Amino acid sequence: MNNTYESNEELWALAEEAYIFSYPLVLMDMTAKTLPSNTLVHARSLATAANKSVVTMNVDTLYTQIIVDLKNEPMILTLPQTDRFMEMQIMDAWSNTTAVVDKAGIYAFVKKGDATKLPENVIKVELPTRISWVLGRVILNGSYDLQNVIKIQDGMDICPLSVYLSGEAHNNAVLAGKAIRTDIIPVQDVAKMNAQTFFGLANELMTDNPPADADTPKTDKIASLKVGAGLIFDQAILNDENGDGWKTMLKKFYTDIAASAFSFCKKLGIWNYFGEPIGDFKTEYTYRAAVAVSGFGANTTEVAIYPKCVADENGEKFDGKKDYILHFETLPPVLNKGFWSITAYANDDFLIANPMDRYCVNDRSDFKLNDDGSLDILLTSNTSAESDMYILPTAEDGFHLFMRIYLPDMKALETWNPPTIKKK
């Protein structure tokens, strides 16, 4: 057999299928490695360009993260009353949103099928995998509002069921700045893995984080490659001693997932956003991998939509050396407690470092509306420029924008005119 990618086309097609299927699971594991388990990890400030643990982080909310590990027993989460948007998005190890908790109460995270008896005042939340990622978001209205959000965070609690029942004092909370490992950049570290490392880890993870029943046709298929729970992968099966085939496959992976994501895109003027089944992907594996690469932890559409823009109204890709005017005819329509923002990201999907320490414009920004109620925003990498418009800094090397609409009024969006962008 020739040791070339072309001569093993069917084999590499199967390898790519296995990679696409397993990618979110491996990425979730790397994300989990950046955090302590069964601990509330509170951000006490908004994300900045220094944050590299998750791509396309928002700068509207303070994050609270929990890596829930149900190895030993159920975990109890307590949430306080709030006067604002607060949600805890719960994702299984495959990045599917299994629940969204947004009300005060006491919740028990329980492995699916676990019949452990719970107190009557506790709400049961079944999780299909041993590891889950809880991504909590609480809206921050400005620096003056920080202590209010901190009070909400401090009213949260998580502990093992046995500790909760014992009434023992506990405080499983740490600050993100001290707890999050910065030596791991999940999306980049996964991309560097060779076949043995990637599939070996995927097999190990599938044992405690089993695929869903609906995944059986796929898992049966990739098992012939020795990828699956309880299987032992040997990269010799790929006949790829120098690794060139693996590198070629990875390039194809990124091309294929981009094409898949495009097929699920919904247009909103010059903007595009990922539509359903985002956040709960079922058997849309390529779409699931695409979202993991570009926006890991994305909500389902009823909670938020994330329109993206990469080009101006003439279809020309943004040039970071040029200035643009972003124009709202009217502001985005949202439901009660909803909000919106537009954030600029560099080509690597991380926030753009700038002297203003400003990463977005949102409904809490100190912009001034035009006399007719419209809004103009200046997009520029020259932050020293004087302007009567509100400035959103961009990057000379290239940039793109994400508009976030939390609790969107989907009916009103059907007739809403989204913002336009033209060269200044």
Q: What range defines the domain where residue 148 resides?
A: 34-183
Say what the pLDDT of residue 2 is. Answer: 42
User: Are residue 113 and residue 57 in the same domain, yes or no?
Assistant: yes
Examine the domain organization and report whether 197 and 321 are in the same domain: no
Q: Render pLDDT for 189-245 as a digit per residue (tens, 0 to 9).
A: 999 999 999 999 999 999 999 999 999 999 999 999 999 999 999 999 999 999 999
Question: Is residue 4 scored above 80 in pLDDT?
Answer: no
**pLDDT tier at 315, thresholds 50, 70, 90:** very high
pLDDT of residue 164: 96
Asked if residue 320 and residue 217 are part of one domain, the reply reads no
pLDDT tens digit sequence for 141-194: 888 899 999 999 999 999 999 999 999 888 899 999 899 999 999 999 999 999
Same domain, 172 and 52: yes
Residues 266-297: b if buried by 16+ CB within 10 A, e if exposed: eebebbbbbeebbbbbeebbbbbbbbbbbbbb
CATH no. for residue 58? 2.60.40.1610
Same domain for 71 and 134, yes or no, is yes
- Region 383-390 average pLDDT: 90
Whether residue 389 is contained in a domain is answered as yes
Q: Are residues 42 and 101 in the same domain?
A: yes
Using pLDDT thresholds of 50, 70 and 90, give the confidence band for residue 55: confident
pLDDT of 359 over the 50 cut: yes
Residues above pLDDT 70, as percent of the chain:
98
State residue 295's pLDDT score: 87
Is 156 within the bounds of a domain?
A: yes
* Domain identity same for 175 and 213: no
Q: How confident is the model at residue 414 (pLDDT cuts 50, 70, 90)?
A: very high
pLDDT tens-digit series, residues 18-30: 999 999 999 999 9
Confidence at 386, pLDDT banded by 50, 70, 90: confident
Domain boundary among 258, 279, 299: 258
Q: How does pLDDT run across 128-156, given as a tens digit for each residue?
A: 999 999 999 999 988 889 999 999 999 99
| Listed residues 183, 201, 223: the one ending a domain | 183
Same structural domain, 78 and 177 = yes
Query: Is 192 a member of any domain?
Result: yes
Residue 121 lies in a domain: yes
Residue 271 resides in a domain:
no
Place of tokens 């590891």: 131
Do 154 and 63 sit in the same domain of this protein?
yes
- Give the model's confidence band at 332: pLDDT under 50 very low, under 70 low, under 90 confident, else very high: very high
- At residue 355, the pLDDT reads 95
Q: What is the pLDDT of residue 1?
A: 36
- pLDDT tens-digit profile of 264-311? 999 999 999 999 999 999 999 999 999 999 889 999 999 999 999 999
In a domain, 264, yes or no: no
pTM, full prediction: 0.87
Work out the burial of residue 301: count CB atoms within 10 Å of its CB; fewer than 13 is exposed, 13-18 middle, 19 or more buried: buried
Q: At 408, which CATH number?
A: 2.60.120.1600
Q: Is the domain of 85 the same as that of 173?
A: yes
Mean pLDDT within 58-86: 96
Number of domains in the chain: 3
Residue 7 pLDDT: 62
The pLDDT score that the predictor gives to residue 6 is 54
Q: Does residue 209 lie within any of the structural domains?
A: yes
Binned at pLDDT 50, 70 and 90, residue 54 comes out as: confident
Examine the domain organization and report whether 85 and 162 are in the same domain. yes
**Residues 200, 88 share a domain:** no
